[in-house]
Amino acid sequence: MVLGLDFEQMMTRATQGFEAVGVAVLVLGALVAVVIYLRTVRAAPKDAFTHLRNNLGRAILLGLEILIVADIIFTVTVEATITSAVVLGVIVLVRTFLSFSLEIELDGVLPWRRGGNPPPADI
């Protein structure tokens, strides 16, 4: 026991901490994206919407990653049952699909094609 908490209670609190951070990242990221949008719309109205989408996408990606950590900690340490493992698998699949989709949306290219040689220019 540490601080009067057993292991399960500590892991539950750790999970809750990661969940709170994940939600905070989503909320603060959205607020920052809107503030940046409002600044950008005055200076460069054409690019403002694109910047808003990109910044919101980045906030969502980071928030999802942190929430996945919370789900993994909870499933592995607190509720280690077959049912919870299947639920975790489904949650991770859905969030991974969302992350993958958002990355493609933000970068405009498949992740495994990123950083490689650029496609040849049309002549």
Q: What is the pLDDT of residue 123?
A: 53
- What CA–CA distance (Å, rounded) separates 65 from 21? 11
Q: What is the pTM for the complete model shown?
A: 0.73
Please report, in tens digits, the pLDDT of each residue of the chain (123 residues total). Answer: 566 778 888 888 999 999 999 999 999 999 999 999 999 888 888 888 888 988 998 898 899 889 889 988 888 887 778 888 888 888 888 878 887 887 787 777 776 777 655 555 555
Helices 45-73 and 82-107 cross at an angle (nearest 10°) of: 160
Instruction: Write the CA distances from 85 to 15, 66, 72, 75, 88, integer angstroms.
Output: 16, 18, 9, 6, 5
The residue assigned the tokens 């991770």 is: 92
Give 5's strand partners.
Answer: 2
Residue recorded with tokens 């607020």? 31
What is the spatial distance between Cα 105 and Cα 36, in angstroms, rounded to a whole number?
19
pLDDT, position 25: 97
| 23: CB partners within 8 A, 6+ apart | 63, 67
Q: Where are the domains of the chain?
A: 7-113
